Structure 1
Amino acid sequence: MSNKPVATPNGSLPNQVPRQPEQPSPSATSASYARAPRMLDSSALMGDQALVLIQHQGEIYRLQTTRQGKLILTK
């Protein structure tokens, strides 16, 4: 019988850290959904304004705060 180590199903040898699966290229469409979303504080967007206009793909959206401090996004 051989003393040669046998690879596990994921390709690593015993006592080794398993290989991580290959990450999709940054240009892949699904790659942006695989990463954690960017978090911004609402004050970074709103500043001292109650209404901010956001242009997205040629459309204008309104982001506004209510009297109760909630956010509303409308087209």
Structure 2
Amino acid sequence: MRRTSDTAPGSRSKAAAVTTPAESAKAAMKPAAASAGQRVVSSDALLQGQSHVSIAHNGETYQLRATRLGKLILTK
């Protein structure tokens, strides 16, 4: 577990919050806000309840799959 606080490194606070590595990873994976002109499409919108979808790009077909663990895999 990792302690996070607003205090300087090396000092300890009684009110320090405790986060798990999984919580830290989830926070790091949050999508950044879309900048001007950048379009964000959710995986739910692409998959529409299916486990995979075919994507045509530059004359090639790719498969986007969602795993049971919530990860995405893009294959040619």
SS in 2 for 1:68: coil
What is the 5 A alignment of 1:1-75?
A: 36-75=37-76
Instruction: Determine the C-alpha separation between the residues in 2 that align with 1:64 and 1:37.
Output: 23
**Count of aligned residue pairs for this structure pair:** 42
Q: Which has the higher contact order (CA 8 A, sep 6+)?
A: 2
Structure 1 counterpart of 2:21 = none
Amino acid corresponding to residue 71 of structure 1 in structure 2: L
Q: CA offsets, 1:35-68, max 9 Å, x none?
A: 5421011111001100100010110000000110
Amino acid corresponding to residue 67 of structure 2 in structure 1: T
Instruction: Determine the C-alpha separation between the residues in 1 that align with 2:55 and 2:62.
Output: 5
Bigger helix fraction: 2
Instruction: Determine the C-alpha separation between the residues in 2 that align with 1:74 and 1:37.
Output: 24
The answer for unaligned runs of 5 or more in structure 1 is 1-34
Q: CA offsets, 1:1-39, max 9 Å, x none?
A: xxxxxxxxxxxxxxxxxxxxxxxxxxxxxxxxxx54210
The answer for unaligned runs of 5 or more in structure 2 is 1-35
CA RMSD of aligned residues (A): 1.7
Identity %: 51
